[in-house]
């Protein structure tokens, strides 16, 4: 006999009880939240279950004679959407089985064997990829597709697939799996004393596993990851399925209409572009600075950002880099020499995030869209950006008041300069004022032709401009 917990997890149901009235959809709370009014034991009569695509409204009919200590529930379906299928799509891979770090001595030989098998597969799949200083745009596009295919197939064959979602349990362990089996066997035997003992042990192990997972994360956190605790301990906005309204327009309640409104608002296409110039279409020697040391240094500094369409994270790319460095260097060098960015790297996954402290979340502008691109494509972009910034620093082409995206300069330095000048004005018995300006959608509305002319005037190589 399957337990209710198992059925809820299997069917992906959402539930709520009289202790916590429904406000939209809530996560399933477990048996402890099923007790009815005035009942000390457990009860499942005052429990409502629904699929995520269904919205329910319910209330208790107090005073109705039921002949027991339970109450009658009056409920209605507010909205019933399409049946939501549980997603089984692969969202990433776990390559921990390729690393000997933290593994006992007796397991290292097996780990090294698995890593060597994966490396042999990757080498076999990429043996035909060859780029040089004569490669064309078609050859670069073909090589980029072949490299992605080789990495994906290597991961499919030798790495563990991951299907992460909002309900994934990163803290789940083998011990918990064994305890769940013991609990299931006790219930099937109707041995309630053993079942209660197994359930207590499972709860203790869950608390221990969660604590260990969280402490391990905090100990290994670097950079911006340190602030993850703030995100998990502060209220979060849940605007999934929120209807939207364009300024002065009707209410958009379908997913297709919302997507079109967000794309139009955040990715405008009616930009004013200057006339296309044939000057500077060829030439430039900036690509000659691209070597293994430069690309490797930029990859090591890369943060663990979310992957794009290829689902290959920064950590996974670093492993492939250690196996075949010349492939990544050759591809980066060829892209910059020709001034060509492969088409498959231009496809992004958009993630919609609500902005904090907005008065009306029906407005499209109350949300921001984050574009998730392939990590290898961002590596090529980062290489070109480094070469441009390095040239401007050496030639002193930037204004001395420019602090963003410069070495050994940050926003705090700009604030320090502002505070220093303000204090100097106060010492002279003067009044200091600051004018702060924000250009709305400045990046999206930049004229690309004028930008090319400006950076060409600064003496940047033509292959970097392209």
pLDDT in tens, the chain (466 residues): 455 555 555 555 444 443 333 333 333 333 333 333 333 444 444 455 556 555 556 666 666 666 676 667 766 665 555 554 555 677 888 888 888 887 788 888 888 999 999 999 999 999 999 888 888 999 999 999 999 999 999 999 999 888 776 667 878 888 898 999 999 999 888 888 999 999 999 999 999 998 888 777 777 666 556 555 555 555 554 454 566 777 777 777 677 788 888 888 777 665 544 455 555 555 567 677 887 888 888 888 777 777 888 889 888 999 999 999 999 999 998 988 888 899 999 888 888 888 888 887 778 888 888 888 899 999 998 888 888 888 888 888 888 888 877 888 888 888 999 999 999 999 999 999 999 888 777 777 778 788 888 888 888 888 787 7
Strands (E), 184-340: 244-245, 251-252
Which residue do the tokens 């996560």 mark? 27
End-to-end CA distance of the chain: 66
Decide: 51 and 12 in contact? Cβ < 8 Å: yes
- φ/ψ of 356, rounded to 5, equals -80, 150
Decide: 112 and 100 in contact? Cβ < 8 Å: yes
Q: How far apart are CA 81 and CA 425, in angstroms?
A: 63
Q: How far apart are CA 197 and CA 199, in angstroms?
A: 5
Other Cβ atoms less than 10 A from the Cβ of 412: the count is 9
Q: DSSP secondary-structure letter at 288?
A: G
């Amino acid at each position: 006999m399957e337990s209710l917990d198992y059925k809820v997890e299997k069917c992906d149901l959402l539930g709520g009880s009289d202790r916590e009235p429904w406000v939209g959809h809530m996560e399933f709370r477990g048996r402890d939240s099923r007790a009815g009014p005035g009942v000390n034991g457990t009860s499942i009569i005052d429990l409502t279950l629904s699929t995520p695509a269904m919205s329910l409204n319910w209330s208790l009919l107090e005073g109705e004679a039921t002949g027991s200590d339970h109450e009658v529930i009056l409920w209605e379906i507010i909205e019933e959407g399409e049946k939501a299928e549980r997603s089984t799509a692969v969202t990433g891979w776990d390559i921990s089985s390729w690393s000997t770090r933290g593994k006992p001595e007796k397991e290292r030989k097996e780990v090294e064997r698995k890593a060597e098998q994966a490396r042999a597969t990757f080498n076999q799949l990429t043996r035909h990829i060859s780029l040089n200083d004569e490669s064309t745009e078609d050859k670069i596009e073909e090589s980029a597709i072949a490299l992605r295919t080789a990495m994906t197939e290597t991961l499919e064959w030798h790495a563990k697939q991951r299907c992460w979602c909002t309900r994934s349990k990163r803290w789940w362990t083998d011990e918990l799996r064994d305890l769940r089996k013991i609990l299931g066997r006790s219930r099937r035997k109707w041995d309630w004393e053993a079942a209660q003992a197994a359930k207590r042990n499972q709860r203790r192990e869950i608390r221990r596993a969660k604590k260990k997972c969280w402490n391990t994360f905090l100990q290994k956190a670097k950079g911006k990851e340190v602030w993850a605790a703030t995100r998990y301990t502060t209220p979060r906005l849940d605007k999934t399925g929120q209807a939207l309204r364009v300024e002065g327009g009707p209410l958009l309640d379908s997913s297709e209409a919302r997507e079109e409104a967000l794309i139009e608002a955040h990715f405008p296409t009616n930009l004013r572009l200057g006339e296309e110039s044939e000057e500077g279409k060829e030439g430039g020697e900036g690509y000659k600075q691209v070597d293994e040391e430069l690309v490797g240094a930029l990859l090591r500094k890369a943060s663990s950002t979310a992957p794009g369409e290829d689902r290959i994270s920064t950590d996974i790319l670093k492993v492939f880099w250690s196996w075949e460095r010349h492939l990544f260097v050759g591809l980066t060098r060829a892209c910059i020499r020709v001034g060509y960015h492969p088409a498959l790297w231009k496809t992004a996954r958009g993630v919609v995030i609500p902005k904090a402290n907005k008065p009306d979340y029906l407005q499209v502008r109350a949300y921001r869209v984050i574009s998730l691109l392939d990590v290898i494509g961002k590596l090529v972009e980062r290489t070109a950006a480094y070469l441009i910034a390095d040239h401007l620093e050496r030639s002193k082409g930037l204004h001395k008041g420019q602090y963003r995206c410069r070495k050994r300069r940050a926003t705090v330095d700009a604030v320090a300069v502002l505070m220093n000048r303000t204090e100097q004005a106060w010492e002279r018995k003067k009044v200091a004022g600051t004018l702060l300006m924000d250009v709305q959608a400045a990046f999206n509305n930049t004229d690309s032709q004028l930008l090319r002319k400006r950076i060409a005037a600064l003496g940047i190589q033509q292959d970097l401009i392209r």
